[in-house]
Amino acid sequence: MGKVIVVTSGKGGVGKTTSTAAIGAALAQAGQRVVIMDFDVGLRNLDLVMGAERRVVYDLINVIEGEAPLAQALIRDKQLENLFLLPASQTRDKDKLTPEGVEKVISALKKVFDWVICDSPAGIERGAILAMRNADAAIIVTNPEVSSVRDSDRIIGLLDTKTVKAEQGERLEKHLLINRYDAARAADGDMLNVDDVVDILSIPLLGIIPESVNILRASNIGSPVTLCESESGIARAFFDSARRLVGETVPIIVPEEKRGFFGKFFGRKAA
Amino acid sequence: MKILQFFRKRASANAARERLQVLLAHERASISGVDIVSVLREEILTVIGKHVQIDGRRVNIRMDRGMRVSTLGVDIEIPFDPGMRAA
Ligand SMILES: Nc1ncnc2c1ncn2[C@@H]1O[C@H](COP(=O)(O)OP(=O)(O)OP(=O)(O)O)[C@@H](O)[C@H]1O
Ligand SMILES: [Mg+2]
């Protein structure tokens, strides 16, 4: 039986979709069968980040409404044959996404895939609750910045009350993913550091993802950063996070401010 | 200069951490239903409203949520009409 993960944050634009794609691909690259599901009805983006936007025929609501069989709505990745995408609907009424429908689709996917990763919409409304409802574990994506941390705290509260797991009195596994970390700014004291964020939210740390220019390149070409820039620092951070997710012990290395020779010389940060 | 700059800068992340600690301590409590400061504010206004008509523009409420102590200040202008007689 596969494991259902929700990637959530409360606050918008912190990197849920980017992380869903990167970690989903990393797991698939390690040989796992993975499906990533977009829950952002009307604002879907996972198809773009995966470079699959031109191949979307059916979406989650079509499947729930019985207009398409699940197998036909799944889009296979261009490069990884064991990675699939289930797109969100761009045009349909959000109310068509029902708890019963979502539950049915997820339980069917769990039988076939090792990982079902749900990319949550921002906010704490219906869409976000539906995305987290059937999760076995959650990845809470947080930027080291006050409003993002506050919203993460709110989402953690909801994960403890609004999920099926919580209702059954079970504990939902929670993992903190700190994204857009800038070691130089944290060292200067202008950015909350890793310890601050972990202390405040008090959930285990899955990984520290640096601020990186590779993300823009990856989204330009429509491929997860773990696939198209697999040697980059940010890809390594996602690979490590994916390994921790499957239960491996990988030491967490807090990125330090790196100043290369020229960086030092000219007082600039090295990439 | 460098050292001064260091201390000034250190302050911003520290300020962020401290503000979050206080805020979240209160938000966590209020989500489980007991933001005592807000409860008091509501009840105090209700009690006063029973006896005098409160004009929203003449009410000034200040709340300051601290880590250990919070304060609630309620300033209400109570109109006095000397022309009105006791029944
Ligand atoms: N580590 C990073 N370094 C640089 N840019 C990043 C990083 N992570 C995310 N971004 C950029 O931030 C923007 C928002 O990212 P993304 O769409 O993944 O966020 P989201 O949480 O899914 O947003 P939404 O709440 O709207 O769904 C994108 O432009 C993305 O390229
Ligand atoms: Mg998104």
Q: For residue A40, what is the DSSP state?
A: -
Which protein residue's CA is at the shortest distance from atom 25 of ligand 1?
Answer: A12
Q: State whether the beta carbon of A219 lies less than 6 angstroms from ligand 1.
A: yes
Asked if the structure places residue A192 within a domain, the reply is yes
Split into its structural domains, chain A has a count of: 1
CATH of the domain at A40: 3.40.50.300
Q: Distance from the CA of A17 to the center of ligand 1, in angstroms?
A: 7
Residue A269 is predicted with a pLDDT of: 43
Q: Confirm whether A84 is domain-assigned.
A: yes
**Rg of chain A on CA atoms, in Å:** 18
**Residue A168 located in a structural domain:** yes
Pair A178, A197: CB distance under 8 Å: yes
A115: helix, strand or coil: strand
* B30 chain-A contacts, CB cut-off 8 A: none
Which among A206, A228, A230 is positioned nearest to A50, based on CA atoms? A228
Contacts of residue A62, Cβ cutoff 8 Å, sequence gap at least 6: A68, A73, A89
Classify residue A251: in a domain, yes or no. Answer: yes
Indicate the residue of A150, A196, A199 with minimum beta-carbon distance to B13: A196
Instruction: Establish if A142 belongs to a structural domain.
Output: yes
Q: Which of B13, B23, B28 sits opposite A190 (nearest CB)?
A: B13
* A271, part of any domain: no
ipTM confidence: 0.75
**Domain range annotation of chain B:** 1-33, 34-82
Q: Which two tokens stand for residue B84?
A: 């009105």
Domain for residue A58, yes or no?
A: yes
Q: Digits of tens for pLDDT over chain A (271 positions)?
A: 999 999 999 999 999 999 999 999 999 999 999 999 999 999 999 999 999 998 999 999 999 999 999 999 999 999 999 999 999 998 888 889 999 999 999 999 999 999 999 999 999 999 999 999 999 999 999 999 999 999 999 999 999 999 999 999 999 999 999 999 999 999 989 999 999 999 999 999 999 999 999 999 999 999 999 999 999 999 999 999 999 999 999 999 887 765 555 544 444 444 3
**Of A205, A256, A271, A210, residue with least CA distance to A235:** A210
The beta-carbon contacts of B74-79 under 8 Å, at least 24 apart in sequence, are B74/B41, B74/B44, B74/B45, B76/B48, B78/B48, B78/B52, B79/B52, B79/B53, B79/B55
pLDDT (0 to 100) of residue B78:
80
**Residue B33: which region, alpha, beta or left (left: phi > 0; alpha: psi -120 to 50)?**
left
Mark yes or no for CB contact B11/A189 under 8 Å. Answer: yes
List, for residues B45-81, the tens digit of each pLDDT value. Answer: 888 888 888 777 777 888 788 888 888 888 888 877 7
**Residue range of the domain that includes A225:** 3-266
Report yes or no: B2 at the A interface, CB cutoff 8 Å: no
